[in-house]
Amino acid sequence: MELMEEDEGLEPVSPTGQYFNSKVLSVSVIGILESEIPIDDSQTKWLIEDVFLPINPRFSSIMVMGKKGGRKWKKVEVNVDNHVHVPSFSSPKGSSSPSENDSFLKSYISEMGMKPFPQDQPLWEVHIIKYPTSEAQGTLIFKLHHALGDGYSLVGALLSCLQRADDPSLPVTFPSVSNFSSANKDGRNVGLRKVVSRYFSPVVSTVRDFGWSVLKSTCIEDDLSPIRRGSESFQPFSVSTITFSLDRIKEIKSRLRVTVNDVITGIIFLATRLYMQRASPNSNLSTNSTALVLLNTRNLRDYKSVRDMVQPSSESPWGNNFAFLHVPIPKVKPSDSQFLDPLKFVREARDTIRRKRSSFGVVLTGKLLEIMKKCGNAEAVAKHISRTMSNSSMVISNVMGPMEKLSLCNHPVKGMYFTVAGTPESLGLTIFSYAGNLRVAVGAEQGFIDSELYIRSLLDAFDMILHDACRKQ
C-alpha cells in the first residue's frame, strides 16, 4: 500500500516509469556478468554503497503517492543486506558439476525474475552465484526495475561500476552508433522523383504506421503460432544464450551494405521461421507474426556515459527513452519451403525499419499515450502497453556494449548479457555487444517454446546468411 507524501522536494516518476510499475505490468531488466575467476564478495557492500548508489538518486529511492496526485521518488536509507542475495545450489549427490549448475542457474533466473519487487525499498537487487558453470567460474546478476530507466540507462549504470581489464586508467570505448543503426549513404545524385518521394513518403508512412500501431494495440492480434500462445499474463520463462563474432556480423554488413542491426534482425527473423517449421512441421509459415523492435529515441551520435546522461542539459538523458516499432516477420511461401533466399530476411528488415524510422508514427503513438494518461490514469496506459505486447509475437531489444574486456573489483568479466522479465509475450530476444562478440539472449516461455531448438535455429540462420552473402558477393 502506497503512502501519501508531501510533494515538496520529491522528484516526479516519469509516465513510463509509472506504466512499468503498475498493477498490470512490473517489468525488470536483468543484467548478467560472467566472471573468469571465482567470485570474492568481500567488497560487495563497499561497491554498492560507494560506487553503485551514487550513480543515480533513484537507486536510493522508493515510489510514493504525492498528496497532489501522481507518484514520486522519495529518498530513503538503503539497507544493503536487503538487496544482496547469495543463493545455495544443492544436488542429490552433495556436489554439482558445471553442467548441472547451468540448469540451476537457469531455474534461479526464472524464479528470481518472476518475483515482484517489495515496494517499500529501492527497486534493485544483486544476486551473487558462486558456483562454476560451463560459461564462467562465477556469475553476478543485477535485477533492476524498468521504472528506474531503460536498458540503455541501466546497462550504462552497470558499466560505470567496471573498469578496463587491460588498463583501468583508460576510458571504456564503445562501437560507433552509425555502424549499428544509421543507414549507409551512397552519395548518388537524387532525381526529382526521389526528391518528391523523400518528402511525401514520410507523410504516408506516418499515417500508415500510426494507424497500424493503434490497431495492433487494440483489436488486431498476431496469428497463434509456435512462438505465440496468446497469453496476456507473464509466464515462467527460461534464458538461453548464443554468441556471434562481431567481425563476422560486420562482414555480412559490409557485403550487403546494411547495418549491424539489419543483419542481426534478419538473422532473428530467419531463425524464427526456421524454428516454426521445425517445432511444428505442418505450421503455416505465412502467419501474420509481428516483432516489437525497441527503438532508442535519444538524439545519439555516439554512446554517452552515465555521467553525461544525468546532466540536466544532456542530449541523451537518463530514464526511459524508447519506443516500439511494429515490424512484420517476413513470410515464407510454400514454394520457398527450403528458404532459398535467406538474404531477403535482412533486406526486408532493413527496408521496414528504415521506413518506420523516417515516419513520425512513433511520435504520434507517444502523444496518444500522453492523452490516454490525461483522460484516464497510468493503469489504463499500462494495460494498453501490455496488450500491445501480448498482441505481438516477440520483442527484440539491442544495447551496445564496450569494445574492450572489463573487470569488476579485479574480477575479469568473461561475458555479459541481459534479459527482460515481466512482459506477456512468449518470446523475447535481447542483444548485447561485448569485446568483439554479440551475445543474443533468448527469453522463452517454459513449456511452450523449445529454447534449445530456437538456439540451433539462430545458429543455422547465421550460417545461411553468411554463406549466401559471401557467395553472392
In terms of average pLDDT, the best of 4-8, 76-80, 364-368 is 76-80
3-state secondary structure of 157: helix
189 pLDDT tier (thresholds 50, 70, 90):
very low
**Mean pLDDT (whole number) for 354-364:** 74
Asked if 270 and 460 touch (Cβ cutoff 8 Å), the reply is no
Give the pLDDT confidence score for residue 302 in this predicted structure: 54
Decide: 108 and 87 in contact? Cβ < 8 Å: yes
Query: What confidence category does residue 459 fall into, taking pLDDT thresholds of 50, 70 and 90?
Result: very high
Q: Which of 1-5, 247-251, 261-265, 325-329 has the lowest mean pLDDT?
A: 1-5
∠ CA 291-295-297, nearest 5°, is 160
Average pLDDT over the chain reads 84
Q: What would the mean pLDDT of 314-323 be, rounded to a whole number?
A: 70
For residue 203, pLDDT over 90 is answered with: no
* pLDDT surpassing 90 at residue 462: yes
Condensed to tens digits (0 to 9), the pLDDT of residues 211-240 reads 767 777 777 899 999 999 988 788 899 999
> Is residue 263 very low, low, confident or very high in pLDDT (cuts 50, 70, 90)?
very high
Q: What's the topology of domain 4-164?
A: Chloramphenicol Acetyltransferase (3.30.559)
Q: Is the pLDDT reported for residue 186 higher than 60?
A: no
DSSP letters, 249-290, are HHHHHHHHT--HHHHHHHHHHHHHHHHHHHH-TTS-TT---E
- Complete DSSP assignment for 334-356: GGGTT---THHHHHHHHHHHHHH
Distance, in Å, from the CA atom of 447 to the CA atom of 466, rounded to the nearest integer, reads 32
Would you place residue 1 in the very low, low, confident or very high pLDDT band (cuts 50, 70, 90)?
A: very low
pLDDT at 9 over 70: no
Of 57-61, 214-218, 269-273, least confident by mean pLDDT is 214-218
- pLDDT above 90: residue 306: no
Higher pLDDT, 376 or 301: 376
Alpha helices in 301-433 (DSSP H): 306-309, 343-358, 361-375, 378-390
Higher pLDDT, 301 or 74: 74
What is the reported pLDDT for 4? 57
Q: How many CA atoms lie within 13 A of 317 on its CB side?
A: 9
Provide the whole-model pTM.
0.88
Please give the CATH superfamily to which domain 177-403+423-472 belongs. Answer: Nonribosomal peptide synthetase, condensation domain (3.30.559.30)
For 296, phi and psi rounded to 5 degrees?
-70, 120
Q: Which residue is it, cell 512482459?
A: 423
Q: How confident is the model at residue 303 (pLDDT cuts 50, 70, 90)?
A: low
| Comma-separated ranges of CATH 3.30.559.10 domains in the chain | 4-164
pLDDT at position 190 over 70: no
Neighbours of 257 (CB within 10 A): 11
Among positive and negative, which fits the CA dihedral 341, 346, 347, 349?
positive
- Per DSSP, the three-state class of 125 is strand
Distance CA 122, CA 125 (A): 9
What is the spatial distance between Cα 365 and Cα 353, in angstroms, rounded to a whole number?
16
Q: Which residues pair with 20 in a beta bridge?
A: none
- Based on its alpha-carbon atoms, the radius of gyration of the chain, rounded to whole angstroms, reads 22
Instruction: Return residue ranges of the chain for CATH 3.30.559.30.
Output: 177-403+423-472
pLDDT score of 198 more than 60: no
Q: Mention every residue, 6+ apart, whose C-beta is less than 8 A from residue 48.
A: 80, 83, 84, 126
Given a cut of 60, whether residue 430 has pLDDT beyond it is yes
Higher local confidence (pLDDT), 135 or 149: 135
Whether the CB-CB separation of 381 and 26 falls below 8 Å is answered with no
SS3 content of the chain, % helix, strand, coil (to 5): 40, 20, 35
Which of 36-40, 69-73, 175-179 has the highest average model confidence (pLDDT)?
36-40
Pick from 2-11, 131-140, 269-278, 458-467: least confident:
2-11
| Nearest in space to 64 (alpha carbons), one of 53, 55, 54, 75 | 75
Phi, psi torsion values for 136, nearest 5 degrees? -160, 165
